[in-house]
Every structure is written in structure tokens, then in C-alpha cells.
Amino acid sequence: MKIHRIEYDRFGHGPNVTRSVRPGPRPMFSLLCMESVVHDAYEAQDDPCDPQGDSYDGRDDLHDLHDVQGTRARAPRALATEAVHAGREDLARQGLHAAPIDLSTTYPSYDSRGEAARIDAFAADGAEPEGPPVYGRLGNPTVARFETALARLEGTESAVAFASGMAALSAVLLVRNALGLRHVVAVRPLYGCSDHLLTAGLLGSEVTWVDPAGIADALRPDTGLVMVESPANPTLAELDLRAVAHACGSVPLLADNTFATPVLQRPAEQGARLVLHSATKYLGGHGDVMAGVVACDEEFARGLRQVRFATGGVLHPLAGYLLLRGLSTLPVRVRAASANAAELARRLAADPRVERVHYPRIGGAMIAFEVHGDPHEVIAGVRLITPAVSLGSVDSLIQHPASISHRIVAADDRRESGVGDRLLRLSVGLEDVQDLWADLDGALGR
């Protein structure tokens, strides 16, 4: 048995990630048609779970930053260090160790003329109001800490948080729609609800679905966005994001980085203008917070803030606190869960009850596999692994995409994008790998 990785000619992701952030001309790519290929389970490649190997730690990629007063430059720091300290640099000066949770919905001010000027400024350009907060929909200090930290980890100027991943994607579409750029070019598979939002045109957008090789030809004068997900939900198909960004030309590329997280790849370094996360998943990491976030340049962030203020898709401060706390353990969690997943993928690939295993070249904690038998019996048979939608939690979750996460996508479209009726998606957690295998082994039956 071999592990099967769906990828696209000249778009297949190379080992691990591209580490250079130095600007320069993008290489020319010959964009060929989509093709599925099969790879051995363990080809020579970097191990993203090996802290001593050539895995990405972000040390060389983080730009020089300044302290909270902006007066003293400091050296770049590794991703693991940023995960712990980003968004918290001012706490020690305040005599605090844990970030405070600001639950205020409104903030008193005796200077109503000043408040008016600040609100006018926000309405004009979407920049974060200077000075103390004004109102919860304009921004919250606790949420702002999370936004600062996530932008640091993704290597972008800014980040804007929302009440859910779908609220974040909706805001991106509304920003582009407001400019008359309603056309979207997208590559399947995407998360099922993202697919539905685009296909149904619920926000007035129009979508053209293409293979990666068809992106450039699908662009129109009114194209406002190209959207991809890599590794994709749920097939774990991978794209060379740098090649995709080149094909987009001047059209912004939105890359859903929910599965990989900045621990495994940073799409902005490969040309994506927008990096989307369902923060409910790995960023939170404990299955107890729902959120979304877009990491991007400050110009785009200003439009997102204006949409968030107008539509009300704000993130609750407690959720912002939980996400900030979740980021501090993100590298440790992703690497430990990835080690478990790699071992389970190896065992599943050798199991005669399993027809095919999908596992990304860049590693990660997600596995997709197709069984010879009834996938619903596998779901019903687990006892340790939780049979539930969602992913990225400390505990392992398994679900049947054709029944749940991608049920809203038309059956023919599902199957054409590789989401077959026998496909199962496994989000591997932090349990002992022997216990996880014992549960899977029992659920697979004889």
C-alpha cells in the first residue's frame, strides 16, 4: 500500500516550505493540467515534526520588529518564541503576566468632539482609531492582542479577527464586491461551506471553478479574488502557492491556511495577499472557541475592519483571549500531533482494509483515507476518537465529509474534486499513538 497524495502538475508542493522572504521576480511556470499521482509513504523529505531537522521555525523569516514604544529594534525571533510572546510585549511593564480580558462593550469619554473625529477617521479609511477604545464593534484590546500575534506568525502587516471563519470569508468578499469586483476564481476542493457561499452567490458574487492550470485564463476585468486551500479540505491536495500567486497576476490570492497553520507554511511569503484561518481549529486548539481571522496587508485590513463594524461579525473578547493563549502552544501542538499523524498514515497505508491514504508532503496532523468497507461503520466503531465534525483540537476527531462537512456541496462536484463516498477525514490529536491505532484498528473491523 502506498500513501496517495493528490497534487497538480507544476503546482505540487515541494518538501516542507519555501523559507525565503526576500522580494524578487517570480519564476515563470508552465501550468499544466491537473493530475493525481501516487507517492511512497516515506519518500526522502524534511520532517516537519523534527525540531533538530530542517523544519521551518520562522527564525530567518521574521522581519526586524520594534518594541511597544517603537524605540528599540530587536533581532528576529523564532516562530516558537513569537507564538509565546507576540501580542504580550507590554505586559511586564504593566506588572502583568497573563493578558487581561477586556469585556467592555463601550468606553466612556468626556471629549465628544474628539470621539466624533476618531469615528470620522475610521469611516474614511478603516485605520484602527488612535487612543482609547470607542465601542466594541470598532475594536477590542483583547482581540487586538490576538490579531497582532497572528499577523506576526503569518508574516503580514495586519490581521482582522471575526466571529467565525465564514464571517471572515464573507467580509473578504464584501470588500471586493464594494469595488465592483464580484467575480471569484476558485480551485476545488475547499471547505464545504466556503464552496457553498461561492456557488450559491449569497453575497452577490459569481464564481468560476477551475483546475490550477486554468486560473490565468479564467481571470476577468471584474475578478476580485482567487481562492485556494492548501492542503485542501478534506483531500489534503497541495498546491505550489508561489506558482498560483504568479498565475493570479494583480488579482489578490486568498489562501486558506487552516490545515497547515503558520507552523508548516506561511502563504504570504509565497505571494498570497490574504491568509484565511478558521481559528476555531488549530489556532484555538481545544474545541472551545469559534472564530475566524484574515492575515493581510494593512490596506486590505482597513476594508475588513469597516465591513466588520458595519455587519457586526465581531469576535468576543473571551474568544480573543482563548485564541491568544492557544497560539502560545500552537507550534508544540502541531508538531506533536503531526508526529502522531505521520505514524498513523504509515500504518493505515499498510493495512489491507484501507484502499488509499492521503497525507500531505508538508506533514501536518490531518489524514484522509478511503476504506474498502462501509465508512459509516468506521465512524460508529470508534471509542477513543471523537466522531464529530471540526478539527485541530487536542483530541482526535473523525468524520465522513460526504455526510457532514461537504454535504452542502453537490454530489457530482464533491466526487469530481476527490471527495468520494468512502473517504474519511481524521484530525489527529495528542493522545498516545498506540491508543489511537488500537481504536482505529477496532473500528476498521475485519
Of the candidates 88, 281, 305, 335, the residue annotated as catalytic is 281
Residue 256 annotated as catalytic: yes
Cis peptide before 231 (omega within 30 of 0): yes
Q: Sort residue 390 into left (φ over 0), alpha (ψ -120 to 50) or beta.
A: left
Of 141, 122, 433, 151, which is closest to residue 306 (Cα–Cα)? 122
Task: Report the DSSP beta bridge partners of residue 184.
Answer: 207, 225
| Four-CA torsion 337, 338, 341, 346, nearest 10 degrees | -150
Residue 137 annotated as catalytic: yes
Q: Enter the C-alpha cell of residue 134.
A: 470607542
The burial class, CB within 10 Å (0-12 / 13-18 / 19+), for 431 is middle
- Per-residue burial over 349-380, b if 16 or more Cβ lie within 10 Å, else e, is bebeebbbbbbbbbbbbbbbbbbeeebeebbe
Residue 191 annotated as catalytic: yes
The Cα 14–Cα 1 span in angstroms is 22
Measured in degrees and rounded to the nearest 5, phi and psi for residue 363 equal 85, -155
Q: Enter the C-alpha cell of residue 256.
A: 486558506
Within 8 A by CB and 6+ apart from 94, the residues are: none
Of 104, 228, 188, 211, which is closest to residue 410 (Cα–Cα)? 188
The Cα 426–Cα 341 span in angstroms is 9
Residue 281 annotated as catalytic: yes
Question: How far is C-alpha 183 from the chain's CA centre?
Answer: 22
Cα–Cα distances in Å, from 327 out to 73, 146, 397? 24, 8, 20
The Cα 254–Cα 275 span in angstroms is 6
The Cα 186–Cα 175 span in angstroms is 17
Of the candidates 195, 256, 351, 439, the residue annotated as catalytic is 256
Q: Enter the C-alpha cell of residue 414.
A: 464533491
Of the candidates 10, 19, 137, 422, the residue annotated as catalytic is 137
Of the candidates 8, 56, 191, 321, the residue annotated as catalytic is 191
Active site residues: 137, 191, 256, 281
